[in-house]
Chains A and B, each alone.
Chain A
Amino acid sequence: MATLSIAEALREAIREEMRRDERVFCLGEDIDIEGGFGGAFTVTLGLSKEFGHERILDTPISEIMIAGAAVGAAMTGMIPIADVQYGDFLFCMMDQLANNAAKMTYMSGGTVKVPMVMRAPVGATTRGAQHAQSLEGFFTHIPGLKIICPSTAYDAKGLLKTAIRDNNPVVVFEHKLLYGSKGNRAEKAALSPVGEVPDEEYLIPFGEGVIRREGKDITIVANLLMVYRAMEAADILEKEGISVEVIDPRTLVPFDYELVIHSIRKTSRLMIVEEDTKRNGWGAEVAAQIAEDALYYLDAPIVRVAGYDVPVPFAPVMENYVVPSASRIAEAARKLMKS
């Protein structure tokens, strides 16, 4: 067992897969320039020492090209891991991701494969509205993409390795406050969870959520940073006699509805917590799906705690207000218990 941060776990996943399969390569901006950052959050730092700059390919600041090149390379026998410095820049490459990556297999009647990985950091970190968004919901809306969001080091390594071996485009959302990036790329207010990661190889299949904490009164489904906020809220609520079960779906497409339904059969109450804006988010989809399939297990309306429908503001007091906090989650839970 090694104790790794998420950034280190992701790096180990890339390293192992690049050793295992010479088709795997990384491309992105500043991903391993000597004396540079190793990607915006150090994930690819030092990999060029082992694999050289041909397989750890630093690109111009050309997001359309990065995404399109990943698509083209993937269709022609390579397995690219593309890197974008901030998830917000995915919008620059949206045509390539939504129109090409997601649709090539379909439009070709299944004759073309696009085995690529697109990594993107998300989350509000006092950088203002254009380096802050949580974009998982946007991408869950596009058929043809798989969407994963690891919140622990163990999951980060296991899920990324699965993503690299998948025959489809997989978008990996990573939270800036969870990386545990070190040195001058360390984040203020980061949680930086380190975790035990086995030395032997393992893969984590998509579509299998995990119960982070068992409880009997309320089921909270939360991803990325919100898993930790929900856990914090659960600690607060436990002292008040409210027992919370926290589910981390780990992957949003595919989504483990079975685990959620199993949980609400016990708790009869469901809350979904996401950092993204509330309107039409992935939480809305989960709520709708549960209402369609399992409403009869619920004793109260489904509650969503999410970012307010505003761009992410800069001032820390405002940012903290917009992003769901443990106290906001706890307050919503108390209210849910009364309904």
Chain B
Amino acid sequence: MYEQLFLLRNYEDRIYYMFLEGIMPGTIHQSQGQEACAVGVLFDVRKEDYMTSTHRPAGHCLAKGVSLESMMCEMFAKANGCCKGKGGAMHTGDISVGAIPAVAITAGGMPVAIGAGLSCKMRKTDNVVICFFGDGASNEGAFHESMNAAAIWNLPVVFVCENNLYGASTHINQVIKIKDLAERAAAYGMPGYVADGNDVLAVNKAANEAIDRARKGKGPTLLELKTYRRCGHSRNDACGYRDKQEEKEWFEKDPVARCKNYILQQQLAAPVELEAIEKKVLQQIDDAVAFAKASPSPEPQDALLHVYA
């Protein structure tokens, strides 16, 4: 788990630095600070389980098993990217590992998760669907329609709301009257739970209960994970709208550092072992960057391919 957390953090950091260098096209919506949500939820899912993601998909995709190289190539807009250079940061995915290409319209992936859930159920599999979305999505009509449908049809969908307190620059208190988004589950007749989204073990435990429930045909769950972005909403966002004290408090709850401290305190691994893991991951990222830089760009006229299957 720590290895994955460390990978997600350093993948995103590396992307950020390369962005600042100006060697990467497009835009980025990063997830530093929210790694425990992706890793904790997806740590025990199967490859055959599906996942829908958002405009902030990198962590979800890495944790679901999309290859680091193919993601890095996509970021560099290369022909061998996971979307062949046609998706970019906001549409990362790889259906062969169950990562449905990310939907970058707020809540737009939620009805898709309903379809994937119906499909799992109709094909009589016991696979489940993990549906990631943010606090902002919970005010969309698509959220309501999807939650209701999953409940009435008893679908194997786990709705995972990463509540990072801000929809772009708008604080959640300005747009939601209730304390916990998990309360909304009651309106649809499904269970809703809150978990500390910066504690990977807490997330994993809560998610596994929901996943187990879904797998056994007992229906959907809404899981609200309280978390916080270390980064801006997108590139060039210095977060001038956030309270500095609030930032300080949350940064002290950093999920990667917390997991590391826990391991060391509990003596689950020696510092030297963690260092070896970190070194390995950093090397993997270096290799992926080198691989992506050396990979071919698509031909301009490749833009005309893949409009239809």
**Size class of the A contact interface (CB-based, 8 Å):** 35 or more
> Are B112 and A108 within 8 A (Cβ)?
no
CB-CB under 8 A for A73 and B149, given A108-B91, A109-B306, A143-B307: no
Tell me if A280 is interfacial: C-beta within 8 Å of chain B. no
The closest CB in chain B to the CB of A99 belongs to B105
Contact of A95 among B100, B105, B116, B309 (CB under 8 A): B105
Count of interface residues, chain B, beta-carbon cutoff 8 Å: 44
- Contact partners of B137 in chain A: CB under 8 A: none
> Are B119 and A78 within 8 A (Cβ)?
yes
Segment touching B, from A60-68, A191-199, A238-246: A60-68
> Are A109 and B111 within 8 A (Cβ)?
no
Number of A-B residue pairs at CB separation under 8 A:
146
- Shortest Cβ distance from B152 into chain A, in angstroms? 7
> Are B115 and A80 within 8 A (Cβ)?
yes
- Shortest Cβ distance from B136 into chain A, in angstroms? 15
CB-CB under 8 A for A60 and B152, given A109-B306, A114-B309: yes
Tell me if A250 is interfacial: C-beta within 8 Å of chain B. no
The closest CB in chain A to the CB of B143 belongs to A64
Q: Specify which of B111, B141, B306 lies most central, judged by the most chain A CB atoms within 10 Å of its CB.
A: B111
Tell me if A72 is interfacial: C-beta within 8 Å of chain B. yes
> Are B119 and A73 within 8 A (Cβ)?
yes
> Are B111 and A96 within 8 A (Cβ)?
yes
> Are B101 and A68 within 8 A (Cβ)?
no
> Are B95 and A75 within 8 A (Cβ)?
yes
CB-CB under 8 A for A76 and B141, given A70-B115, A108-B91, A109-B306: no
- Contact partners of A126 in chain B: CB under 8 A: none
- Shortest Cβ distance from B33 into chain A, in angstroms? 27
Contact of A72 among B93, B116, B148, B306 (CB under 8 A): B116
A sample of 30 inter-chain contacts (CB < 8 A) reads A59-B149, A62-B145, A62-B148, A62-B149, A65-B145, A65-B148, A66-B111, A68-B111, A69-B115, A72-B52, A72-B112, A72-B114, A72-B118, A72-B119, A73-B115, A73-B118, A74-B115, A76-B120, A78-B122, A99-B103, A108-B86, A109-B81, A109-B83, A109-B86, A110-B305, A111-B94, A112-B101, A114-B309, A144-B308, A168-B309
